[in-house]
Chains A and B, each alone.
Chain A
Amino acid sequence: MAIIVNLDVMLAKRKMSSQELSEKIGITPANLSILKTNKGKAIRFSTLDAICKELDCTPGDILEYRKD
């Protein structure tokens, strides 16, 4: 897919673990892993909002468009 989720990069920048983020935003580690590994089909605005709030970033920092 042309949309890439750069969640792992943001997590590394904020020095936060996936487990910690999943606990803070209230989603399961399994779902966060789906998001991180680009296996997800869609992301809810509420999830994006929670991630941005916790990582103090914008959706553009997490999502990236790359031509196939």
Chain B
Amino acid sequence: MKILGKKSLSTVIKIFLWILLTICLMVVILGGIVVIHDFSFLNSSNTSRSLIILYLSSWPAGVLIAQFIGIFKSLENNYVFDKKNLKRLRISYISSIIMGLMYLINSIMLFFSQEDENWVIVYMLLTYIITLVFLIFGVGLIVLSEIYKKAIKYKEENDLTI
């Protein structure tokens, strides 16, 4: 299956990424408006804390998706081994790890909460999974960015070999 070029998945991927970015921005804007207008729901309960974490995680998520859009655009324009992309990958792994840490804090707080309702336990397990996914993704991106850094170095060397 082709990812780039004519009759490829590129259009679908682009639309998908833009939809995700729009959702993130909507969460950021609407969530901000709700918080500004009504503080009453912000209390120490698990639900409100989880909602806050969910809201806060939409910021790094938006940044992460914006970076992916940038990387994809450069891939389409054939500027693959560019230092800008390395920077984008670095921002991506930082965003991913921040999201993972946010969910980790939430899951730790859920673990120590006194509530033992079924949904809390299920939600806590899901939060652990999300934490792991983002942390593993972040570490994966760190490895990828290091590979990318070396690839750029080799490309530059190759370009300067006459």
Contacts and interface: CB of A to CB of B under 8 A. Distances in A.
Contacts of A43: 161-162
Task: Tell me if B's interface is mostly helix, strand, loop or mixed.
Answer: mixed
A27 B160 CA distance: 13
Interface in B143-162: 156-157, 160-162
Q: How large is the interface on B (under 10, 10 to 19, 20 to 34, 35 or more residues)?
A: under 10
Interface residues of A, number: 12
A63 interface: no
Interface in A31-68: 31-32, 34-35, 39-44, 47
17 contacts: A27-B162, A32-B162, A34-B160, A34-B162, A35-B162, A39-B160, A40-B160, A40-B162, A41-B156, A41-B160, A42-B157, A42-B160, A42-B161, A42-B162, A43-B162, A44-B162, A47-B162
